[in-house]
Amino acid sequence: MESAVLDFESDYFTLFKLQEGVYSAIAKNHTITGANAGFFDLGDYVIVFDTMSAPKATQDLIKGAKFCCKKEIRLVINSHFHGDHIYGNHAISPSIPIIGTHDTVKMINEHTFENLANYQKNARKEIKKLDNQLKTESNPAVLFEINSDLDFLLTISEHGFNLRLPDLIFQKELTIHGSKRSVQIIDVGAAHSISDTIAYLPNDNICFMGDLLFENVDPSWVDKKSVMPFAVNPKNHLKVLKKYSDLNIKYAIPGHGKLSPSPIVFKSNIEFLRLKYPDAFS
């Protein structure tokens, strides 16, 4: 990969410059803060794709965007309703609109708030448990995970923490033409979740794919029902992956895992879906 690692310090992610003005934030771990995000400079302002799950990670993301682009963020995209991609909405200034689909808003209302309430209900007990683990743990990687989880639980336990919903609702596709580049914000329909949104930068040949793509898809995960990645609509998911795979995208940023060459990541995800959902393709 030709992408360059940027000299920006965050405990939560590593910043990669994919192209002048286009950056991905690749999560450093696979715990609760472990979803990837990114941002790009349209010319006069910046658009952020997904907000990660710990608002502190989101604050770093905002700092990272300012560090790289030296411009204000004017819009945030939510790829789908899963908490690991949108809890960080809480850290986005109310003056910056968050764009999402009608179905994403519906699913946040029907599911994500409930999940958050469950986390909040059990937070005190979990914090105690993690605090005890901290006293005996010495492995730095595990310590990092415990601290990330603690950070998340403490944040969502704070008085006034709430989940911010997308407030700019689009249908099917929205193109924004900036002075430097254009972005197509596309609702691909039900695939990984009930409604998945991607951000395609056609002139750069770059696409932020959210959870339509995972970097690591081990075939041994196929039988494990609760293990990610999964698809609520495998047929459409496969169709979307094939479509974008055929576009020879230079960088397809996965929702989870490292940046890797896009032909490999498309191929492995397509094969994984075929294995996991054979009935959908018969």
- In the complex, the residues that contact Zn ion under the rule CB under 5 A are 35, 82, 84, 211, 255
Cβ closest to Zn ion, residue 69 vs residue 259: 259
**Sheet with 173-177: strands ordered across:** 173-177, 182-187, 197-201, 206-208, 251-253
User: Looking at beta carbons only, is 42 or 209 nearer to Zn ion?
Assistant: 209
- Nearest approach in angstroms of CB 50 to Zn ion is 9
- Smallest distance from the beta carbon of 145 to Zn ion, in angstroms? 16
Q: How far is CA 102 from the centre of its chain?
A: 18
Cα separation, 156 vs 41, in Å, equals: 30
**Minimum CB distance to Zn ion smaller for 68 or for 212:** 212
Task: Show Cβ contacts of residue 246 under 8 Å, excluding neighbours closer than 6 positions.
Answer: none
Residue 52 or 69 having the CB closest to Zn ion: 52
- Say how far apart CA 78 and CA 111 lie, in whole Å: 15
CB 35, min distance to Zn ion, A = 4
Hey, what are 86's tokens? 């949108």
Whole-number minimum distance, CB 47 to Zn ion, in Å? 20
CB of 126 to Zn ion, least distance (A): 20
Please, which residue, 21 or 166, has the CB nearer to Zn ion? 166
How many Å apart are CA 164 and CA 88, to the nearest integer? Answer: 9
Nearer to Zn ion, 87 or 181 (CB): 87
Cis amide leading into 229 (omega within 30): yes
C-beta of 124: minimal distance to Zn ion in Å? 26
Best CA proximity match to 183, nearest among 77, 96, 92: 77
Let me know if 135 is exposed, middle or buried by CB neighbors in 10 A (0-12, 13-18, 19+). Answer: exposed
